[in-house]
């Protein structure tokens, strides 16, 4: 059984004290495919080092996270372009819109999102979307940009069944993580109405740890709790969930 974590920030400072031990736990649990989203240029060197240390397991993305779209966003986007042109990446992400922390940057978040979608199309790469309190704004841009070469993952999906179907209509898989294990997560109530062919697994570590680790630092090995929950929701084996979601991840990332 091969398990894929499609979204994990393993370069985070949260792992600086015990990264090698954490990685050992992850790999020993057959979680052997780890996709690493970018945040901004300050993390690029750490991401490249992680890839160097675990070349068979770590697959990098490049992008500017919406909460890091600040006054210097044009310089950051230039860095994204330069990296895409000079290094192998498997997605443009994570990108999108976040109106939870700062609504005042909406206009430049929208500009950055549109620009990075265009970069993804130019490089024939998927996008990995971050959406927080911004479904309408995200869907508006996806509607503008929809095409055969627009595809990817709606990371940390927390919307309604209707929003799930709409995300899927734009060639997006739904990234399902720890929220599926939360009592108030809600997605567990309708997830079995979504065909498994549209689902990928993720942790978003070090954030959003699943039960029973909620509130603590998350890590990729905890994806086993997400797998367990989805096995319950879909009334099928963990092996089948792992196999299907790993195949889905290969369809998105091309590796």
CATH label of the domain that carries residue 171: 3.20.20.140
What does the DSSP 8-state code read for residue 209?
P
Helices (H), ranges, 87-217: 106-122, 135-145, 161-169
> In the predicted model, is pLDDT for residue 183 greater than 90?
no
The reported pTM is 0.97
Q: How many domains does the chain have?
A: 1
Please compute the mean of the pLDDT values over residues 52-60 and round it to a whole number.
Answer: 98
**pLDDT band at residue 193, thresholds of 50, 70 and 90?**
very high
3 token code pair:
């398990």
Q: What is the mean pLDDT of residues 60-89?
A: 98
User: 114: Cβ–Cβ under 8 A, 6 or more apart, which residues?
Assistant: 141, 144, 145
Helical residues (DSSP H) of the chain, grouped into ranges: 19-28, 44-53, 73-86, 106-122, 135-145, 161-169, 223-234, 238-253
The phi, psi pair for 60, rounded to 5°, reads -95, 150
The domain in which residue 203 lies consists of: 3-253
Q: What is the pLDDT of residue 38?
A: 98
> What is the spatial distance between Cα 98 and Cα 81, in angstroms, rounded to a whole number?
22
Q: What is the mean pLDDT of residues 165-184?
A: 96
């Amino acid at each position: 059984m091969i398990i894929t974590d499609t979204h994990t920030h393993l370069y985070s400072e949260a792992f600086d004290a015990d990264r090698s031990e954490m990685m050992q736990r992850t790999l020993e649990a057959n979680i052997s495919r780890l996709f690493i989203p970018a945040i901004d240029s300050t993390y690029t060197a750490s991401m490249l080092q992680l890839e160097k240390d675990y070349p068979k397991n770590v697959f990098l993305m490049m992008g500017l996270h919406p909460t890091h779209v600040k006054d210097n966003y044009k310089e950051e986007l230039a860095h994204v372009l330069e990296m895409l042109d000079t290094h192998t990446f498997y997605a443009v992400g994570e990108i999108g819109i976040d109106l939870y922390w700062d609504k005042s940057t909406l206009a430049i978040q929208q500009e950055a999102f549109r620009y990075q979608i265009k970069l993804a199309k130019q490089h024939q790469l998927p996008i990995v979307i971050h959406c927080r309190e911004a479904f309408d704004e995200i869907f508006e841009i996806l509607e503008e940009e929809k095409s055969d070469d627009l595809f990817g993952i709606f990371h940390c999906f927390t919307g309604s069944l209707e929003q799930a179907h709409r995300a899927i209509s734009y060639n997006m898989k739904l990234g399902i993580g720890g929220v599926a294990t939360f009592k108030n997560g809600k997605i567990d109530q309708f997830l079995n109405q979504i065909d498994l062919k549209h689902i990928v697994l993720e942790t978003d570590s070090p954030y959003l740890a699943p039960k029973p680790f909620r509130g603590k630092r998350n890590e990729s090995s905890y994806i086993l709790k997400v797998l367990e929950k989805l096995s319950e929701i879909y009334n099928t084996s963990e092996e089948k969930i792992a196999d299907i979601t790993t195949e889905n991840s290969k369809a998105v990332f091309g590796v």
